[in-house]
């Protein structure tokens, strides 16, 4: 799907579900990682994460477009367009728009690997760290004892 086709789809959904015209552009932005789409306040354009479309298909894309159109139309009208605003939540419910989109698994954040294990000499409390630390500078948070590297 191209950006022109996406803009046409957004215009169709806007007229069908909101009864209002979408007069700006919609485009794919592959730099989006943690969200399905976003509405740009200054330019009034809508950006969509192409990974969400590829992984979840047209139904998810339509849901993201409806969500962003809620932001768009409320902002244009000067009403509450933020997630916390009552106007926004009511419009989501009226149009059947999702509040959240599905998280793209390939972009999902994973916990960092803890490579270094430090232990207190006195109380044997263990601390896992991703980055090596200077044991002469730091002490145990529980008993103020000295730390030593237990394993890498």
Cα separation, 52 vs 35, whole angstroms: 9
Name the nearest CA neighbour of 120 among 102, 143, 88. 143
**pLDDT (0 to 100) of residue 106:** 56
Name every residue whose Cβ is closer than 8 Å to that of residue 46 and which is 6 or more positions away in sequence: 10, 24, 25, 26, 27, 37, 38, 39, 40, 65, 68, 69, 72
Residue 45 C-alpha from the chain's centroid: 18
pLDDT in tens, the chain (152 residues): 899 999 999 999 999 999 999 999 999 999 988 889 999 999 999 999 999 899 889 999 999 999 999 999 999 999 999 999 999 999 999 999 998 887 766 544 566 787 899 999 999 999 999 999 999 999 999 999 999 999 87
At 97, list the tokens.
């728009």
**pLDDT (0 to 100) of residue 109:** 58
Q: Full-prediction pTM beyond 0.75? A: no
**pLDDT (0 to 100) of residue 152:** 76
Among this protein's residues, is 93 annotated catalytic? no
At 148, list the tokens.
């030593």
List beta partners, residue 151.
Answer: 117
47, 55, 68, 93: the active-site residue:
68
Q: Residue 146: phi, psi to the nearest 5?
A: -75, 150
Name the nearest CA neighbour of 25 among 11, 37, 13, 12. 11
């Amino acid at each position: 799907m191209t950006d022109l086709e996406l803009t046409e789809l957004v215009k169709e959904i806007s007229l069908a579900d909101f009864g209002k015209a979408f007069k700006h552009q919609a485009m794919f932005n592959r730099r989006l990682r943690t969200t399905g789409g976003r509405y740009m306040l200054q330019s009034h354009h809508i950006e969509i994460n192409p990974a969400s479309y590829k992984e979840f298909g047209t139904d998810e894309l339509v849901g993201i477009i409806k969500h962003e159109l809620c932001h768009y139309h409320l902002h244009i009208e000067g009403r509450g367009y933020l997630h916390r605003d009552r106007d926004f939540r009511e419009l989501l419910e009226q149009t059947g728009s999702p509040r959240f989109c599905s998280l793209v698994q390939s972009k999902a954040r994973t916990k960092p690997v803890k490579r270094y294990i430090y232990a207190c000499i006195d109380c044997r409390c263990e601390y896992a760290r991703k980055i090596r630390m200077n044991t002469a500078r730091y002490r145990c948070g529980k008993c103020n004892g000295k730390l030593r590297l237990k394993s890498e």
